[in-house]
Amino acid sequence: MQPDETLLRLEAVQKRFGGLVVLNNVDIAVGPNELIGLIGPNGAGKSTLFNVITAIYAPTQGRVLFRGKDITGIAPHRISRLGIARTFQLVRTFLTMTAFENVMVGAVYGAGGRVKHATEAANAALELVGLTARRDMRTAHMTLSDRRMLEIARAVASDPALLLLDEPMAGLNPTEIQRMVDVIRRVRAERGLSMLWVEHKVDAIMKVCSRVIVLDHGEKIADGTPREVTQNRKVIEAYLGEPAA
């Protein structure tokens, strides 16, 4: 991969909370239109990694580069405007707004910074995740699965180059999970953006992603195709423990 093609690059990122090292020396590169799964046991540092990328936390050491530009520790709203959108593990929609208004926030204030064509962008994003029929429904009255879809629509409407998905399937039933997989595939196919996807449902990641990164105790222990990763001894140990013999 050419260095200038890399969209997001994490260089030796370390994050410490007091004496606790949550991320240690993590290097990650995300290329254009890549769909990368990020997995790891509980407490592996996946959400912290997202929070470092989106500048909710500043890393203790290391740098975050986006399109070759150092974005370590700049304000979160500027990260969004540069083209990194995200969803949250505990869904964060604007509850007193309608679905359409939620998505408008992304369209108006995100990377697109659209004022003129914001309405079209918002409607297209709702269409993409299949929420057109709920356009004028108050978010407070929507189901969890619809709110998760709405978060993705809001992120897509902000016209990002990179989308970070933080456990979009948490709390969804099998039917809704299938719907989410379809939406993630459609977003990638139609928008051509890169995605970094944290998920506990490893089987979904293995089915959909072209590349998988595994974190354990704050360190990157594997990075490769789903096939490579599932055969990696360190990964098996992290999930199942060391062999008895």
Partner 1 sequence: MSNAFKWIAIVAVAALALLPFVPGAVDAYYFSFLFFVFLYAIMAQSWNLVAGYGGQISLGSHAFFGLGAYTTAILWTGNYLWGSLYDTHPGIYYFDPVTMALGGVVAALAAAIIGLPLLSKLRGDYFALGTLGFGEIVKVLFVNGGDFTGSAFGIVAPAGMFDTLRPHYWVALGLMVATALAIGALMRSRYGLAMIAVRDDEMAASANGIDVLKVKVAAFAGSAFIAGVAGSLYTFYIFHVGPDSVFDLDWMLLPLMMTVVGGTGTLLGPILGALVMYAVFDLARIVVPDYHPVISGLTIILAMLFLPKGLMRSFAGKARLA
113 is a site residue for partner 1 (CB under 8 A): yes
Residue choice 36, 111, 152, 165 for contact with partner 1 (CB under 8 A): 111
Nearer to partner 1, 101 or 219 (CB): 101
97 is a site residue for partner 1 (CB under 8 A): yes
Nearer to partner 1, 56 or 144 (CB): 56
Output the smallest distance, CB 237 to partner 1, in A. 35
Output the smallest distance, CB 206 to partner 1, in A. 28
Task: Order the strands of the 61-66 sheet from edge to edge.
Answer: 20-30, 8-17, 61-66, 69-70
Sign of the CA dihedral running 4, 5, 7, 8: negative
Q: Which stretch binds partner 1 (CB under 8 A): 33-41, 101-109, 191-199, 203-211?
A: 101-109
How far is C-alpha 92 from the geometric centre of its chain's CA atoms? 14
Residue choice 26, 39, 44, 104 for contact with partner 1 (CB under 8 A): 104
86 is a site residue for partner 1 (CB under 8 A): yes
Output the smallest distance, CB 93 to partner 1, in A. 7
Q: Give CA–CA dist 36/212, Å, rounded.
A: 5
The closest alpha carbon to 45, from 12, 73, 70, 21, belongs to 21
- Total residues contacting partner 1 by CB under 8 A comes to 32
Nearer to partner 1, 94 or 239 (CB): 94
Q: Give CA–CA dist 4/59, Å, rounded.
A: 23
171 is a site residue for partner 1 (CB under 8 A): no
Residue choice 21, 33, 57, 88 for contact with partner 1 (CB under 8 A): 88
Residues 141-170 that bind partner 1 (CB under 8 A): 154-155, 158
Q: With contact defined as beta carbons under 8 Å apart, do 98 and 140 qualify?
A: no
Residues 41-80 that bind partner 1 (CB under 8 A): 54, 56, 75-77, 79-80
* Residues engaged in binding partner 1 (CB under 8 A): 54, 56, 75-77, 79-81, 85-86, 88, 92-97, 101, 104-106, 108-111, 113, 115, 118, 138, 154-155, 158
